[in-house]
Amino acid sequence: MITVPLHAIAHARSGDKGNRLNIAVIAHHAAVWDALVEQVTETRIAALFAHRRPTAVRRYLLPKLHALNLVIDDVLEGGVNAALNLDGHGKTLSFLVLTLPVTVGEDALAAVRAGLAAQAHRSPANALGLA
């Protein structure tokens, strides 16, 4: 087993509504989906945001998409129309979640890396021999 930042196995996107933040976390590969479910928990997300004092953290699982949706209440310092923070939307906070340490099997991590390499290989720049 190996411990890596969540960024190594998943991608994420932030969205906001008022003072509520949602962050979708999506596995790069089916091989790490179970690790996401086991380790990206409401408790750990609440701890990650403790300095912003969340009033609730809920997690919704979407196994068909290998995605989970985190809904974190009252962590946007009032939201985009009230916050003093430069990023009142919380758009950068998906990458705070991606700092979370996760432990995965070496085979699963290798599968993720092979998938990312294949994805990069498919990019048009590579197809044209430019990259």
Partner 1 sequence: MVPPPLLIGNGAGFSGDRLDAAEPVVRTLIARGRPAAMTFETLAERTLALGVLARETDSDGGYEPALLPLLRPVLGPCLAAGIPIVGNFGAANPHGAAAAIARLAGELGLGPPRIAVIEGDDVREAIHDPRIAWEAGRRPDRRIIAANAYLGAFPIAEALRAGAEIVVTGRIADPALVLGPLIAHFGWGEHDLDALAAGTLAGHLLECGAQVTGGYFGDPGVKDVPAPEAIGFPIAEVTADGMITVTKADTPGGLVDRRTVTEQILYEVHDPAAYLTPDVTLDLTGVTVEERARDTVVLRGARGHARPPALKATVSTEGGFLGEGEITYAGPNALARAEMAAATLKARLAALPIRLRIDLLGLQAVFDSDDGARGASAPPDGEVRVRLAAQAEHRATAEAAAREVLGLYCCGPAGGGGVRTAVTRRVATTSALIPRDLVRPRITMVSP
Q: Which of 99, 101, 42 is nearest to 73 (CA)?
A: 42
Task: Decide: 35 and 101 in contact? Cβ < 8 Å.
Answer: no
For residues 89 and 37, the answer to whether their CB atoms sit within 8 Å is no
Residue holding tokens 């411990």? 3
Does 118 help bind partner 1 (rule: CB under 8 A)? no
Could you say whether residue 29 binds partner 1 (CB under 8 A)? Answer: no
- Here's the x/- map for partner 1, 47-76, by CB under 8 A: it reads as -x--xxx------x-x-xx-x-x-x-----
Among 39, 42, 74, 85, the residue binding partner 1 under the rule CB under 8 A is 85
Among 37, 46, 96, 105, binds partner 1 (CB under 8 A): 96
82 close to 88: Cβ distance less than 8 angstroms? yes
Check: CB of residue 46 under 8 Å from CB of residue 57.
yes
Q: In the complex, which residues of this chain contact partner 1 (CB under 8 A)?
A: 7, 11-13, 15-18, 20, 22, 24, 26, 48, 51-53, 60, 62, 64-65, 67, 69, 71, 77, 79-82, 84-87, 91-93, 96, 116, 119-120, 122-125
